[in-house]
Amino acid sequence: MSRRFKHLPGQVGLCLGVALLVLWSVGPVYWSFVTSITPPNALVSDNLHFWPQTTTWEHYAKLFGATSTSQGNEVASVWPQFSRAFANSLITSLAATALVVIIAAFGAWAFVRLEFPGRNVLFVLVVATLAIPAYTVMIPLYRLMISMGLIDTYTGVTLIYVSAFLPLALWLMRSVYQAMPLSLEEAAWLDGASKLRAFVQIVLPLAGPGLVACGILTFLSAWGQFMVPLVFSPTLATKPLTVLIPEFVTRNYVDYGLMNAAGIIAILPPMLLVLFLNRYLVSGLMAGAGK
């Protein structure tokens, strides 16, 4: 048996595993896409097809159209709602992401480089909040938000996202900074940089991949949030896509085509973000600092 085939069983296993994972994650997306281009009557037919026999863009037309028809009747277009919710999703997710990344970038650095009493206890407390299930704080949080008048505001939703996703980002960034040699900063101080300057010009660029990872994680988590906006975003003022799309289910008709078309559109921003930021997730930025 040649060397090339010695690892064959392992390789077959690996391929199988990869195939399963791809199926697991891409399958639903594929199905959603197929549903979104299938005519409504074919959707409720008895025999399912892996690829629809006739395809249609009518669901997308309904989503983007100025007017639309539903079951033969002219109904109000969903575009105003959809576009509003899309914007809401973008605004709250981007705001939360920006805030989390900025606060984690500076906060984690403080936890690593600044000496202050109770530093480690404080950090453990912050990270420990990750273990608290969201629903246990829902009711007190609701009362708090009401008393501050933050229900159904961008500020309110964004603040909740930040408080929920910041601990993980802080944790991640702390380990990024801990892995960075202090001597780089010291060299910058001796070169004449203030501590802040050394941080911004030397540490931050090298922490780039960590920051990008934090950004991606936070954006994806915020974009996919359902329960928080369900409670705190009752109207279209701040209601995101995740809450709006299920509302396409009406009392006597489930518009699968429309829901899935909306779902496919909703996948685009996080997908583009990940594709765009992926190339900054490179490792090995630290190479060359030492001997």
Partner 1 sequence: MAEVSIRDVTKSYGTTKVLHGVSFDVADGEFVALVGPSGCGKSTLLRMIAGLEEISSGTVSIAGRVVNDVEPKQRDIAMVFQNYALYPHMSVRDNMGFSLHLRGASKAEIAAAVSKAAEILGLTPYLDRTPKQLSGGQRQRVAMGRAIVRQPAVFLFDEPLSNLDAALRVQMRAEIRALHERLGSTSIFVTHDQVEAMTMADRIVVMRAGRLEQAGPPLELYDRPANAFVAGFIGSPAMNFLEAVAEGGQVRLASGQVLEVASAATGAVLYGIRPEHLELTNPDAPGAIVGQVGIVESTGTAMFVAMQAGALTLHAVFTDRPNIKRGDQIGLMPKPGLVHLFDAKTGLRLS
Residue 188 engages partner 1 in binding (rule: CB under 8 A)? yes
Element (H, E) at 34: helix 8-36
Exposed / middle / buried, residue 248 (Cβ in 10 Å: 0-12, 13-18, 19+):
buried
Segment interacting with partner 1 (CB under 8 A) among 42-50, 177-185, 211-219, 255-263? 177-185
Residue 49 engages partner 1 in binding (rule: CB under 8 A)? no
Binders of partner 1 among residues 266 to 285 (CB under 8 A) are 284-285
Using DSSP, state whether 70 is helix, strand or coil. strand
Element (H, E) at 149: none
Residue 184 engages partner 1 in binding (rule: CB under 8 A)? yes
Residue from 55, 83, 186, 234 in contact with partner 1 (CB under 8 A) = 186
Measured from the CB atom, the residue of 151 and 188 that comes closer to partner 1 is 188
- Going from the C-alpha of 149 to that of each of 87, 93, 138, 144, the distances in angstroms are 22, 21, 16, 9
Residue 202 engages partner 1 in binding (rule: CB under 8 A)? yes
Residue from 179, 194, 237, 253 in contact with partner 1 (CB under 8 A) = 194
48 contacts 35 by C-beta, under 8 angstroms: no
Binders of partner 1 among residues 66 to 105 (CB under 8 A) are none
Count of residues binding partner 1 (CB under 8 A)? 24
Segment interacting with partner 1 (CB under 8 A) among 26-34, 74-82, 147-155, 199-207? 199-207
- Using alpha carbons, select from 108, 127, 89, 94 the residue that is nearest to residue 215: 94
Using DSSP, state whether 43 is helix, strand or coil. helix
Residue 193 engages partner 1 in binding (rule: CB under 8 A)? yes
